[in-house]
Amino acid sequence: MRGATAPVPPPQRRVRIPHSLVMMFRAGVRAAKRCMASPLVRTVLRLGISAGLLAWLIAASREELSSLEVGSKSAAAAWLIAAALTMAAAFVMASVRWWQVAETLDVTVTRRSMLSIYLAAQFVGNFLPTTIGGDVLRINRLGRMCGSRANAFATVIIERLTGWIVLPLLTLAAFAAQPSLLRHSGGQIAGGLALGTLLVLAFIVWIAEHPRGLGRLSGGSHIRDWLGAVHTGLSVFRRHRSAAGRLLGVGFAYQILLVAATALAGAAIGVNPGLVAWLAFAPMVLIVQNMPLTVGGLGVREGAFVLFLDAHGVNEGEAVLLGLLLYALTLLVSLSGAPALALGGRRNRSKVPAEVSADH
């Protein structure tokens, strides 16, 4: 009937949760947070994820691994030695990249000291179940040398950002040179990952460099000082384009050496998807293996090789073995940092400014 009002539904009874259950739930959440904050628990979880991923990948590729045939053992050994030497050269180049950041920010330190600290950090990062332990060591030792941990923190962060710029650019350049790599799912995922990395990085750099971003955080606490030093350092590179260009040039050289080490390790077991494919996919493997989910990227790196190289004549067994070989080579080369770690950092006696100069 016109004008009739709709019947009003009866009020619903609210379910009352007993206060004791609420308190038990909150206590469980707090206990879970404390548990997850424990370094031991995080390490055990990461070890478990690595073991699970590796077990799954090895089980899935058991037939390929059992039938894998490597050619001449002497030739394979030669390829692996070349890969190890190339990786060692990449470590040296990475220390030069870090030194260039420090020099531009008026943080005075010798190249030899920078190499020693970097190698010690590589040993810590690759032999200990830690995600940022190597970077913490770099900040502490360089901070003692230059008299400012804030400046040391800025050099490490900016040096890291350089790698995240170069790696996706290498991948996108390879896809531009050979668009057919994008026809399969692995190529499409790699291309999306490269673009996503650049977008996220651009946002991070914009926030870090913008006066209303990290520029407002200078002073007040140690963390604010450190973030403020990153802002000032990025501003220095924005004003000095030639220094930024040299830094990117060294960054490209470093990452290309890592790609070359990957290709040489692949040659040792007969994996050769082609130069452009290596340039397209090896950088993305380097990105995903740094995800703080596993120990040393174990499992993630091998799975990424399986995904990216599947359409290029590389079976699962070869991809898994390649990832494990690269991990073994990384550990081997990182052993060179053990003496530097044992000797410890020495304070640089050179006079250096306490803070990064914005007018550099």
For the stretch 271-319, pLDDT in tens is 999 999 999 999 999 999 888 777 788 889 999 999 999 989 899 999 9
In the predicted structure, residue 15 carries a pLDDT above the cut 60? no
DSSP H or E run through 73: helix 73-104
With vertex at residue 300, the alpha carbon angle to CA 297 and CA 304, rounded to the nearest 5 degrees, is 125
Token match 């596993």: residue? 294
pLDDT value of residue 212: 62
> What distances in angstroms separate CA 83 from CA 60, 224, 264, one per listed residue?
27, 42, 5
Whole-number pLDDT of residue 128 = 77
Residue 38: pLDDT band (50, 70, 90) is low
**Residue pair 307/84 in contact by the 8 Å Cβ criterion:** no
Q: Where are the beta strands (DSSP E) in 195-259?
A: none
Give pLDDT, residue 222. Answer: 60
Global confidence as pTM:
0.80
pLDDT higher at 288 or 61:
288
DSSP 166-190: HHHHHHHHHHHH-GGGGGSHHHHHH
For residue 322, pLDDT over 60 is answered with: yes
280's tokens: 């397209």
Quick one: pLDDT band at residue 27, thresholds 50, 70, 90?
A: low
- Give the Cβ contact number of residue 261 at 10 Å: 24
pLDDT at 347: 42
Mean pLDDT over residues 113-131, rounded?
Answer: 87
Mean pLDDT of the 326-341 span: 93
- Which pLDDT belongs to residue 7? 57
Q: Provide the pLDDT for residue 23.
A: 58
Q: What pLDDT is recorded for position 168?
A: 95
Mean pLDDT of 105-128: 90
65 alpha-carbon distance from chain centroid? 28
Find the range with the poorest average confidence among 177-186, 315-324, 335-344: 335-344
Average pLDDT of the segment spanning 136-162 = 89
Alpha helices, DSSP H, located in 210-299: 222-239, 241-268, 275-288
**Other CB atoms within 10 Å distance of the CB of residue 58:** 17
pLDDT at 161 over 60: yes
Average pLDDT, the chain: 81
pLDDT of residue 198: 92
